[in-house]
Amino acid sequence: MQRKAIVSELRTYILITFGLVIYAFGVTGFLIPHKIVGGGVTGLSTIIYFLSDKVIPVGVSYLVINAALVGIAMKILGPKFGIKTIYAVFINSALLGIFQAHIHEPLLDDRFMSTIIAGILCGAGVGVSLINGGSTAGTDIVAMIINKYRNIPPGKVILYLDVIIIGSSYTLSWHFSELIYGYVQMGVLAYTIDMVFTGQMQSVQFFIFSEKYEQVADSITRDLHRGVTVLDCQGWYTGAARKMLVVVARKGEMQGIMRVTKQADPDAFLTMNTVMGVYGKGFDTLRT
């Protein structure tokens, strides 16, 4: 059991690192070379980078600004979140520094396409980190705090907070067009975060009709550790009394439910529906 927990924790940190690599690459490869300011602490760090005449690297100011925010995260969101966020801050700072040191020219000449690609990459990276309990810190910390007590998608919170940060980039060039690129990137990023975050949190509901309903229910409970509800029903055409199993599981467990059902009863009849919100033990916490 301990070995399984270690492997699971290691997998979590690997996924967080993967998300940060995507995020840092999106910022340094598509935003900074075009002098486009995104949101969050990374956006503030980009502004500092250009205001300092490119003397202070983005990774350095990113690390300094986030130091205070991590303390808030540890107090409110718990030490486990704090440890992962500290890890994320240091790794992301290093990645930003490494990528910025090696990428001096934009990877795409088209500024608009660079903005879209950066939004997708950064949003995917943040989404992967959030799902695994980590964060790129900054406005992500505020988003996770609010999401802990209210059912508000993190992407929307980040969207609202970043409006002010991107707006402040107007002081870099005094061109309104620069703000447009920043806001486009912000919108794409927020949408991508919600797609990644919500997609992983989606649940599925199964209605299973089987003559061997006891074996199917036992397999689902024993192998997948999911609860099963047995309902009495009657077939209208045959008039025969039957049993129906109701199972609610995460979307990632969908294939497992179908697999154990087929193994227990190849002739089982099964329907599946996607449900957006499931609250209670084993799922999301009901918050008002």
Per-residue pLDDT reduced to its tens digit, 55-75: 899 999 999 988 877 777 777
Q: Is the same domain home to 144 and 74?
A: yes
Task: Indicate the number of domains in the chain.
Answer: 2
Same domain? 80 vs 183: yes
pLDDT at 277: 66
The predicted pLDDT at position 75 comes to: 78
Same-domain check for residues 188 and 220: no
Are 136 and 246 found together in one domain?
A: no
Instruction: With cut-offs at 50, 70 and 90, classify the pLDDT of residue 174.
Output: low
Note whether 164 and 76 are same-domain residues.
yes
Residue 190 CA to chain centroid, in angstroms?
Answer: 11
Contact 137, 90 (CB under 8 A): no
Which of 17, 48, 25 minimizes the C-alpha distance to 136? 17
- Does residue 285 fall inside a structural domain? no
Considering only residues 116 and 6, tell me which one the structure prediction assigns the higher pLDDT: 116
- Domain identity same for 190 and 211: no
Is 90 within 8 Å of 60 (Cβ atoms)? no
Can you give the pTM of this predicted structure? 0.71
Tell me: do 138 and 30 sit in the same domain: yes
Q: Which range marks the domain in which residue 72 is found?
A: 2-200
Together in a domain, 65 and 189: yes
Answer with the one of 200, 234, 257 that is the final residue of a domain.
200
pLDDT at 280 over 80: no
Same domain, 114 and 131: yes
Say whether pLDDT at 286 is over 70.
no
Instruction: Give a yes or no: residue 78 inside a domain.
Output: yes
Residue 50 has pLDDT above 80, yes or no: yes
Domain match, 210 and 79 both: no
Give the end of a domain, one of 144, 179, 200. 200
Q: Is residue 283 part of a domain?
A: no
pLDDT of residue 59: 92
Q: Strands of 85-236 (E only): list them.
A: 203-209, 229-234
Residues in contact with 83: Cβ distance below 8 Å, sequence separation at least 6, in sequence order: none
174 φ/ψ sector (left φ>0, alpha ψ -120 to 50, else beta): left
Three-state secondary structure of 2-53: HHHHHHHHHHHHHHHHHHHHHHHHHHHHHHHHHCCCCCHHHHHHHHHHHHCC
Whichever domain contains 239, its CATH number is: 3.30.70.120
Whether 69 is in a domain gets the answer yes
* Mean pLDDT of all residues in 25-47: 91
Residue 275 backbone zone (phi > 0: left; psi -120 to 50: alpha; other: beta): beta
Q: What percent of the chain has a predicted confidence (pLDDT) above 90? A: 30
240/156 same-domain check = no
Rounded to an integer, the average pLDDT of 16-30 is: 93
27 occurs within a structural domain: yes
CA gap 175, 118 in Å, rounded = 21
Ranked by mean pLDDT, the top range of 34-43, 146-155, 195-204 is: 34-43
Residue 280 lies in a domain: no
Other residues' Cβ atoms within 10 Å of the Cβ of residue 191: 16
Boundary residue ending a domain (174, 200, 226): 200
Examine residue 287 and state whether it is found in any structural domain, yes or no: no
Regarding whether 189 and 56 lie in a shared domain, the answer is yes
Is 181 among the domain residues? yes
Task: Give, in degrees to the nearest 5, the angle at Cα 142 between 139 and 147.
Answer: 125
Query: Residue 93 has which token pair?
Result: 């700072």
95-138 per-position pLDDT tens digit: 999 999 999 888 999 999 999 999 999 989 988 887 777 666 67
pLDDT-derived band of residue 199, with 50, 70 and 90 as boundaries? low
